[in-house]
Amino acid sequence: MQDWLAAQAYATPEGIALIAEGEHWTYRTLHQRVGQLAGALHRQGVRPGDLVGTLLPNSAAYVFLTHALARLKAVLIPLNTRLTAAELGYQLRATNAQYLIFAESYREISTGLGDLVTLCALDDLMRMDAVPIMEGTVDLDALQAIVFTSGTTGYPKGASITFGNQFWSALGSAYRIGTLPDDRWLCCLPLFHIGGLAILMRCCLYGTAVVLQNGFEVEAVTTAIRQHQVSLISLVPTMVYRMLKQPEAASALSQVRLVLIGGAATSADLLERCAALKIKASPTYGLSEACSQVVTMLPEEARRKPNSVGKPLLFSRVEIVDQNDQPVPPNTYGEVVVSGKTIMAGYYDDLQATDRVLREGKLHTGDIGYLDEDGDLFLVQRRSDLIVSGGENVYPAEVEGALCAHPAVEAACVVGIPDPEWGQRVGALVVLKPDADLSEADLLGFARQRLAGYKQPRVLHFVPALPMTASGKIQRRLAAEWLKDHAHDQG
Amino acid sequence: MQDWLAAQAYATPEGIALIAEGEHWTYRTLHQRVGQLAGALHRQGVRPGDLVGTLLPNSAAYVFLTHALARLKAVLIPLNTRLTAAELGYQLRATNAQYLIFAESYREISTGLGDLVTLCALDDLMRMDAVPIMEGTVDLDALQAIVFTSGTTGYPKGASITFGNQFWSALGSAYRIGTLPDDRWLCCLPLFHIGGLAILMRCCLYGTAVVLQNGFEVEAVTTAIRQHQVSLISLVPTMVYRMLKQPEAASALSQVRLVLIGGAATSADLLERCAALKIKASPTYGLSEACSQVVTMLPEEARRKPNSVGKPLLFSRVEIVDQNDQPVPPNTYGEVVVSGKTIMAGYYDDLQATDRVLREGKLHTGDIGYLDEDGDLFLVQRRSDLIVSGGENVYPAEVEGALCAHPAVEAACVVGIPDPEWGQRVGALVVLKPDADLSEADLLGFARQRLAGYKQPRVLHFVPALPMTASGKIQRRLAAEWLKDHAHDQG
pLDDT of A490 > 70? The answer is no
For A179-247, where are the E strands, in sequence order? Answer: 184-187, 209-212, 232-235
Q: Lowest mean pLDDT: which of A62-66, A319-323, B88-92, B482-486?
A: B482-486
Mean pLDDT in residue range A318-333: 92
Residue where a domain terminates, one of B383, B418, B449: B383
CB A336 within 8 A of CB A318: yes
Residue A164 is assigned to a structural domain of this protein: no
- Inter-chain touch B205–A311, beta carbons under 8 Å: no
Residues A130 and A14 in one domain: yes
pLDDT band at A329 (very low <50, low <70, confident <90, very high): very high
Name the H helices within B156-217: 163-177, 194-206
- Inter-chain touch A375–B10, beta carbons under 8 Å: yes
Our CA-based measurement puts residue A311 at a distance from the nearest CA of chain B, in whole angstroms, of: 6
Q: Residue A47 corresponds to which amino acid?
A: R
- Three-state DSSP state, B461: strand
pLDDT of A153 > 60? The answer is no
- Chain B residue with Cα closest to A313: B11
Mean pLDDT in residue range B112-141: 97
Residues of A in contact with B317 (CB under 8 A): 10
Tell me, yes or no, if B179 comes closer than 8 A to chain A by beta carbon: yes
- Inter-chain touch A12–B311, beta carbons under 8 Å: yes
Which residues 6+ apart lie within 8 Å of A451 measured at CB? A398, A399, A402
Nearest CB to B206: which of A11, A175, A181?
A175
pLDDT of A227 > 50? The answer is yes
- Inter-chain touch A314–B8, beta carbons under 8 Å: yes
Residue A406 DSSP symbol: S
Q: Lowest mean pLDDT: which of A60-74, A126-140, A331-345, A469-483?
A: A469-483
∠ CA A234-A237-A241, rounded to 5°: 110
Q: The domain spanning residue B470 has which CATH number? A: 3.30.300.30
Q: How many CA atoms, within 13 angstroms, populate the side-chain half-sphere of residue A472?
A: 23
Task: State which residues form the domain around B310.
Answer: 170-383
Residues B339 and B480 in one domain: no
pLDDT in tens, B241-258: 899 999 999 999 999 999
- Inter-chain touch A11–B298, beta carbons under 8 Å: no
Residue B151 is assigned to a structural domain of this protein: no
∠ CA A150-A156-A161, rounded to 5°: 75
pLDDT of B151 > 60? The answer is no
pLDDT band at A113 (very low <50, low <70, confident <90, very high): very high
Residue A144 is assigned to a structural domain of this protein: no
Distance CA B210, CA A271 (A): 31
- Inter-chain touch A10–B312, beta carbons under 8 Å: yes
CA dist A26 to A9, A31, A267, Å?
8, 8, 38
Hey, which residues 109-128 in chain B have their CB within 8 Å of chain A?
none
Residue B147 is assigned to a structural domain of this protein: no
Tell me, yes or no, if B184 comes closer than 8 A to chain A by beta carbon: no
Predicted confidence at residue B9, as pLDDT, reads: 97
- Inter-chain touch B315–A176, beta carbons under 8 Å: no
Residues B315 and B234 in one domain: yes
Residue A432 is assigned to a structural domain of this protein: yes
Q: In what order do the strands lie in the sheet with B158-162?
A: B118-121, B99-102, B51-55, B75-78, B143-148, B158-162, B346-347
∠ CA B227-B231-B237, rounded to 5°: 100
Residues A26 and A59 in one domain: yes
Residues of B in contact with A206 (CB under 8 A): 175
Class of residue A421 by CB neighbours under 10 A (exposed 0-12, middle 13-18, buried 19+): exposed
Q: What is the CB neighbour count within 10 angstroms for residue B84?
A: 9
Q: Residue B44 corresponds to which amino acid?
A: Q
Distance CA A184, CA A255 (A): 12
Residue where a domain terminates, one of A326, A350, A383: A383
Domains in chain A, number: 3
pLDDT in tens, B176-190: 999 999 999 999 999
CB B153 within 8 A of CB B382: yes
**pTM, whole model, 2 decimals?**
0.85
pLDDT in tens, B330-359: 998 889 999 999 999 999 999 999 999 999
Residue where a domain terminates, one of A92, A121, A138: A138
Tell me, yes or no, if B300 comes closer than 8 A to chain A by beta carbon: no
Residues B134 and B217 in one domain: no
Predicted confidence at residue A377, as pLDDT, reads: 96
Predicted confidence at residue B449, as pLDDT, reads: 86
Most distant CA pair in chain A, distance: 71
Q: The domain spanning residue A18 has which CATH number? A: 3.40.50.980
Mean pLDDT in residue range A467-490: 79
pLDDT in tens, A50-90: 999 999 999 999 999 999 999 999 999 999 998 889 889 99
Residues of B in contact with A313 (CB under 8 A): 11
pLDDT in tens, B285-329: 999 999 999 999 999 998 889 889 999 999 999 999 988 889 999
Residues A343 and A214 in one domain: yes
- Inter-chain touch A374–B13, beta carbons under 8 Å: yes
Tell me, yes or no, if A176 comes closer than 8 A to chain B by beta carbon: yes
CB pairs under 8 A between A and B: 83
pLDDT band at A151 (very low <50, low <70, confident <90, very high): very low
Nearest CB to B207: which of A14, A207, A314?
A314
Residues B436 and B402 in one domain: yes
Distance CA A104, CA A124 (A): 10
Residues A176 and A273 in one domain: yes
Residues A442 and A457 in one domain: yes
Distance CA A343, CA A166 (A): 10
pLDDT in tens, A411-454: 999 999 988 877 789 999 999 999 889 999 999 999 988 887 88
A17 backbone dihedrals φ, ψ, rounded to 5°: -105, -35
Tell me, yes or no, if B13 comes closer than 8 A to chain A by beta carbon: yes
Residues B357 and B272 in one domain: yes
pLDDT in tens, B155-205: 789 999 999 999 999 999 999 999 999 999 999 999 999 999 999 999 999
Residues A119 and A204 in one domain: no
pLDDT of A152 > 50? The answer is no
Hey, which residues 361-390 in chain B have their CB within 8 Å of chain A?
374-375
Q: The domain spanning residue B359 has which CATH number? A: 3.40.50.12780
Residue B113 is assigned to a structural domain of this protein: yes
pLDDT band at A387 (very low <50, low <70, confident <90, very high): confident
- Inter-chain touch A1–B177, beta carbons under 8 Å: no
Mean pLDDT in residue range B223-229: 98
Nearest CB to A315: which of B1, B314, B316?
B1
Residues of B in contact with A2 (CB under 8 A): 315
pLDDT band at A488 (very low <50, low <70, confident <90, very high): low
Tell me, yes or no, if A220 comes closer than 8 A to chain B by beta carbon: no
Residue B149 is assigned to a structural domain of this protein: no
Residues of A in contact with B177 (CB under 8 A): 181
Name the H helices within B207-282: 218-227, 237-244, 247-253, 268-276
Residues B126 and B190 in one domain: no
Q: What is the CB neighbour count within 10 angstroms for residue B485?
A: 8
Task: Pick A386 or B153 by higher pLDDT.
Answer: A386
pLDDT of A471 > 70? The answer is no
Q: H or E stretch including B369?
A: strand B362-371
By DSSP bridging, strand B459-462 and strand B346-347 are: unpaired
Residues of B in contact with A314 (CB under 8 A): 7-8, 11-12, 205, 207
Tell me, yes or no, if B154 comes closer than 8 A to chain A by beta carbon: no
Predicted confidence at residue A481, as pLDDT, reads: 87
pLDDT band at A485 (very low <50, low <70, confident <90, very high): confident
pLDDT of B489 > 90? The answer is no
Our CA-based measurement puts residue B171 at a distance from the nearest CA of chain A, in whole angstroms, of: 8
Q: At what angle do helices A194-206 and A4-11 cross, to 10 degrees?
A: 40
Nearest CB to B314: which of A178, A207, A375?
A207
Nearest CB to B181: which of A178, A183, A207?
A178
Residue B306 is assigned to a structural domain of this protein: yes
pLDDT in tens, A129-145: 999 999 999 999 999 99
- Chain A residue with Cα closest to B294: A11
Q: Which of B340, B287, B299, B208 is nearest to A175 (CA)?
A: B208
pLDDT in tens, B427-460: 999 999 998 899 999 999 999 888 878 889 999 9
What SS3 string covers B67-90?
HHHHHHCCEEEECCCCCCHHHHHH
CB B344 within 8 A of CB B387: no
Tell me, yes or no, if B175 comes closer than 8 A to chain A by beta carbon: yes
